[in-house]
Amino acid sequence: MAFTVTLYQFQKRKNSTLQPTALQGVELSCELKQPTSYKDPVFTFFVEAGFEWNYLKWDSWYYFITDVVSVRNNIFEVHCKLDVLATYKTEIGATSAFVLYDTTANTEIVDSRLSQKTTAVHSVSEALLDYGIGYTVMLGIVGDDSVSVWGVTPYQASQLLNSINDWMDDKLNFEIPSGGYSFNDWDDAVNDVIEFVVQFFRQFIATGKAPDCIKSAVLLPVPASQFGGSSATIYLGEYDTKHNGQKIAQNAVANSNVSVSIPWQASDWRRNDNYTKIYVGLPYIGVVSYPASQLIGYTSLNVNYRITVNGGITCTVSAGGQRLGLYTGNCASNFMVGASNINPMQGMGAVVGGGGSAIGVAAAASGAAAAAVGVAGIIGMINAVQQLPTCVGGVGGGAGADGWQVTCVVVYHDTTVDPSSVAAAIGTPTMAVKTIGTLSGFVQTKEASVNASCYEDVRTEINSLMDGGFFYE
C-alpha cells in the first residue's frame, strides 16, 4: 500500500521535543516493508536523485532515520525509529512533574554538580568600637568614709604612694631631741616628747596603713571617662594623697556598639556553607565562626560590648535583631602597687617599749633620764623606717590585644565555572513541581509520568528520557 510521508534534512538533539516545520519538508510516496513495526518501521522509496534526508514524519508521528539501504535501481529501504519526544510533545507539555533542573535562574539552591576551587579568596571589613585611646588603672580603695572604685591614669596611680614617700622624706627632717637637748624640768621634757609624738604620728599612723588601703588594682585599656563618675580627692584610709581621681560606681559599665559589614563575595547560592565561611574577630575574646547559611540575607553584624570596672567583658553579636552569640572575656591585666616589707606601724612597738622604759626609769631616776629613754625609742623606730617602693606594671595578658577593632572575614571558595554558564546544557536546580509546557530548554524531572495515548513501551521511554534530562523546545 502506497502513502505519502514528509522527509526532512533536519538538525535536532536526540533528547529534544523539537519538531520540524512544514516548510522544511518534502512529501514523497512510499510503501511499508512487510512485515514492519510501527515503532521502528522500514519504508521503501523510489528516488532517482538519491536519498538525502535524515528525518521523517508519518501522519502525526515523527521518526529518526537510522539507516538507508540501497536495494537496486534507485529503490531505498529507509529504517526509522520513533521520536517519542517530538511525537508526544503536546502530552509532555501538559504534564505536571517534579522538576529537578531547568533553565530558570537559581540563586538559592546549591548546585552540587559543580566542582569547587581549591584556592580561597578572602575579603575583610573592619569597624572600631568607640572606647577611645588610653588606659585606666581601676583602684579599689578603702577611703576615709567608704570603699570606692577610682579610675586614674597609670602615672597617677604611681604617684599615690610616692606622695607618702615625699611626706616621709619631709618628716624625717624634723628636729629630733637628742642627748644634748636641755630640759628645764620633768614636766617640760614630757610635754616636748608628747607634742612631738602627736604631731609626727598623726600622719605617720595614716601613712603606715595607707598602702594597705589599696585592695585591688587592674589596668584597663579604656579611658576612665567611659565609665562615668566624678572627679574627687583620693584618700587612702585617713591619709589625704592630695591627688584627684575619677570616682566610679562599682556597678558601672562602659558600653560600645558597632556595626561591621559582611563582605559577601557572591550573591547567589554560593553564599552558603562549603563555599562561604564567615569569621569574626572580637577584641579580647578571639575569633568566632558563624554558619554562612544563617547569615544569608543580612548585610552586617551588630556587635555590643559591656566592660565592668574589673575588666570583665560581655559581648553580644546579632544580625537583624536576632542574637547569634553571647561571649565573655576580660581585658584587665595586673597593675602592681606594692609596699615595703617594713610596715611603719610595726615601729609603734618601739615607742611603747620606750615609753615603758621611761616610766620605769621615771619611777627610779630623774625626769631627764626618763625623757631621754623615750626619745631614744622614737629615734630607733625612725631609723628603721624604709622608703615605700612602688612598682607600675606594663600592659600584659588580656590588655595586650590589638585595640578595639572588630573584624569580619569572609573566606570564599568559588565554583570552577559560573553556575549560570551551565544552565543551557544541564540546567540549574529547581526542586519544585512545574508544568513542563511553562518551561523551555533543558528540563530534568523526577519520577515523571506522562498521560498519553500510546504504547506502554513508548510511555516508559518518554518517562525515562524526561527523568534523564531532555530539552523542551
Give the pLDDT of residue 395. 38
Lowest mean pLDDT among 48-62, 88-102, 372-386: 372-386
Count of all residues that appear for the chain in the document: 473
Q: Sorting pLDDT into bands at 50, 70 and 90, what band is 240?
A: confident
For the chain, give the percent of residues with pLDDT over 90.
61
Q: Sorting pLDDT into bands at 50, 70 and 90, what band is 166?
A: low
362-377 exposure pattern, b = at least 16 Cβ within 10 A, e = fewer: beeeebbebbbbbbbb
Average pLDDT of the residues in 400-419: 90
Give the pLDDT of residue 167. 56
Whether the pLDDT of residue 252 is over 50: the answer is yes
Average pLDDT of the residues in 105-131: 95
Decide: helix, strand or coil at residue 79. Answer: strand
Give the pLDDT of residue 394. 38
Give the pLDDT of residue 187. 62
Find, among 226, 264, 155, the residue nearest to 404 by Cα. 226
Positive/negative CA dihedral, 105, 107, 109, 110: positive
Find, among 216, 235, 143, 163, the residue nearest to 388 by Cα. 163
For the chain, give the percent of residues with pLDDT over 70.
76
Q: Sorting pLDDT into bands at 50, 70 and 90, what band is 401?
A: low
Whether the pLDDT of residue 247 is over 60: the answer is yes
Whether the pLDDT of residue 23 is over 90: the answer is no
What mean pLDDT value characterizes the chain? Answer: 82
Return the higher-pLDDT residue of 171 and 85. Answer: 85
Whether the pLDDT of residue 215 is over 70: the answer is yes
Cis bond upstream, residue 35 (ω within 30): yes
Give the pLDDT of residue 359. 37
Decide: helix, strand or coil at residue 318. Answer: strand
Give the pLDDT of residue 165. 62
- Hey, what amino acid is at 10? F
The dihedrals phi and psi of 197, each to the nearest 5 degrees, come to -60, -45
Q: Sorting pLDDT into bands at 50, 70 and 90, what band is 388?
A: very low
Q: Which of 349-358, 380-389, 432-441 has the highest mean pLDDT?
A: 432-441
Whether the pLDDT of residue 373 is over 60: the answer is no
Q: Sorting pLDDT into bands at 50, 70 and 90, what band is 280?
A: very high
Find, among 193, 200, 201, the residue nearest to 369 by Cα. 193
Q: Sorting pLDDT into bands at 50, 70 and 90, what band is 368?
A: very low
Q: Sorting pLDDT into bands at 50, 70 and 90, what band is 444?
A: very high
Find, among 310, 315, 309, the residue nearest to 282 by Cα. 315
pLDDT in tens, 293-319: 999 999 999 999 999 999 999 999 999
Give the pLDDT of residue 421. 94
Whether the pLDDT of residue 44 is over 90: the answer is yes
User: Per the structure block, which three cell numbers stand in for 26?
Assistant: 518534502
Burial class (CB in 10 A: 0-12, 13-18, 19+), 107: middle
Contacts of residue 229, Cβ cutoff 8 Å, sequence gap at least 6: 151, 246, 247, 248, 249, 252
Burial class (CB in 10 A: 0-12, 13-18, 19+), 227: buried
Q: Sorting pLDDT into bands at 50, 70 and 90, what band is 238?
A: confident
Return the higher-pLDDT residue of 365 and 104. Answer: 104
Q: Sorting pLDDT into bands at 50, 70 and 90, what band is 270?
A: very high
Q: Strands of 103-195 (E only): list them.
A: 121-128, 136-142, 147-152
Lowest mean pLDDT among 39-53, 210-224, 431-445: 210-224
- Hey, what amino acid is at 231? S
Give the pLDDT of residue 185. 60
Instruction: Output the CA angle 424-430-432, nearest 5 degrees.
Output: 140
d(CA 139, CA 127): 31
Long-range CB contacts (within 8 A, 24+) of 345-354 = 345/205, 345/208, 345/209, 347/208, 347/381, 347/382, 347/384, 347/385, 348/205, 348/381, 350/377, 350/378, 350/380, 350/381, 350/384, 351/197, 351/201, 351/377, 351/378, 351/381, 353/377, 354/378, 354/380
Whether the pLDDT of residue 380 is over 70: the answer is no
Give the pLDDT of residue 342. 36
Give the pLDDT of residue 354. 44
